[in-house]
Amino acid sequence: MADIHVLGEIRHFLNQTTVTTLELTFSSLEIHSVFNDRLLHELTKPNGKIRIYYQKQPESAQMEVLDNLVFQFSFGFILPNTATVYQSNMLHLPRPLMDGKLLLDAEQLLLEFMIHTPNKEHKILVKHRYTHIVEISKALPHP
């Protein structure tokens, strides 16, 4: 079976108006956390999930990260305007997260963000890499 085009599936959902929620399950989620260029934690898990909400604002959407090492969170992003590779800053990240980036292409969804610790000089870089969509659920109720 051919892989589902990650960016294409998300763009298709965001370019329609009848379904308000899209949940994607990926066969693989890799999470890496780095502190001072040293790997702190590395985890690969099956069935990583994200949820995307169609917003009434015409230029943005919201993504909810359901598989984080510490807590679930959501962020806003500008609607993708390209069919090959899309990169954007994460908007409205909850504290202590900051400096988030979203990358989408045919094969993956990549999230990258910083976690600020109480000592402001210490920052932890976290990367989530989702690959191979295995399930698509639409029209889930918005919490």
DSSP conformation letters of 95-115: TTEEEEEEEE-SSEEEEEEEE
Asked if residue 102 is part of any domain, the answer here is yes
Name the domain count of the chain: 1
For 70-113, the pLDDT digits (tens) are: 788 999 999 999 989 999 999 999 988 999 999 999 999 999 99
Q: Which domain CATH number covers 90? A: 2.40.128
Quote the CA–CA distance of 6 and 88 in Å, as a whole number. 15
- Give the full edge-to-edge strand order of the sheet including 38-54: 73-78, 60-65, 38-54, 21-35, 123-138, 108-116, 97-104, 86-89
Asked if residue 143 is part of any domain, the answer here is no
Residue 71 structural domain: 6-138
Asked if residue 105 is part of any domain, the answer here is yes
Asked if residue 1 is part of any domain, the answer here is no
Asked if residue 34 is part of any domain, the answer here is yes
Asked if residue 64 is part of any domain, the answer here is yes
- State the average pLDDT over residues 37-59: 89
Asked if residue 52 is part of any domain, the answer here is yes
Quote the CA–CA distance of 129 and 30 in Å, as a whole number. 5
